[in-house]
Structure 1
């Protein structure tokens, strides 16, 4: 376990989990949202995004923990990826966490990533087509189907898939990794 991708739906805890795992394994953590989002919620064009990610991956010689899904980066990740950890939590838990997080971030106005000025607002979180909550609702079942299919696909048999279905399982996994 040296080249790892943490995936899961919105508000599943990918960032927290990847931070803890990278620290435990002494690997570089790469937050893909930080590479993707530009100021004022502008998206980095795909070719630039892939180049940014490639650079970060190349400089992490000892290994990396990627935080994020981003299907557009799959071909690049697949070159070295040896482990995919899927935080596959229930719809109700992801929905609850999405709403709680959106409210907290809209109140605090904390910057979401180091490389951009983006902040959540009540309007963006709850009343717009760009709502992260709406995105979670639309993609929860699609993501589950996608990752289940990947786990069963012989083309990816060289990747160790770890499916964690609760925060308790995730905490136990981190504890086991720390004991190794």
Structure 2
């Protein structure tokens, strides 16, 4: 069942596994609700894929702003404690494995072929990134390892942050219909 259209709120987190389309959804919601979209990967990845020392300071700075939407990532690095108390809504893209796997393969392959610059001069590692023996560099292994992250953590997060409204979508079509509905409010 499709959640009711939601009036715009000022601070939104987009949750989901790698490849679910968090960034694309965040951009679209930012446009619909006139929110600032902060791409959290751009704050985390420095040149040569090194983590930026100012990451948590940068997250704290934008979280203090009044209107934003961002991807809910890097929870093991402390972002939840910064973002969740300020956010009002979580849109959880909880799509089937076949959907997120095919999206991740298409995205990674496309970025590699086009040599798309991502953040701070970094480019997709391409096939190396998809089949690397190191599970921390292998994007497909990462997705598999973190596939259940949100379904395992969301109940505790809901208890810890009871003010957060969570809207969960099980398929991209439902998320797209909801986004279309809230875009006209």
Tell me the TM-score normalised to structure 1 length: 0.89
1:162 aligns with 2:175: no
Who is 1:112 aligned against? 118
Who is 1:131 aligned against? 138
Who is 1:13 aligned against? 21
Q: 2:51 aligns with which of 33, 37, 43?
A: 43
Give me the whole-angstrom Cα distance separating, in 1, the residues matched to 2:84 and 2:150: 18
Give me the whole-angstrom Cα distance separating, in 2, the residues matched to 1:25 and 1:97: 25
1:177 aligns with 2:185: no
Aligned length: 173
The answer for unaligned runs of 5 or more in structure 2 is 1-8
The answer for unaligned runs of 5 or more in structure 1 is none
Runs of 4 or more above 3 Å deviation = none
The answer to which structure has the higher helix fraction is: 1
Tell me the TM-score normalised to structure 2 length: 0.86
1:149 deviation in Å? Answer: 3.9
1:55 deviation in Å? Answer: 2.1
The 8 Å contact of residues 44 and 52 in structure 2, kept in 1 or not, is answered as yes
The 8 Å contact of residues 46 and 52 in structure 2, kept in 1 or not, is answered as yes
1:52-131 superposed matches below 5 A:
52-58=58-64, 60-61=65-66, 63-71=67-75, 72-113=78-119, 115-129=120-134, 130-131=137-138
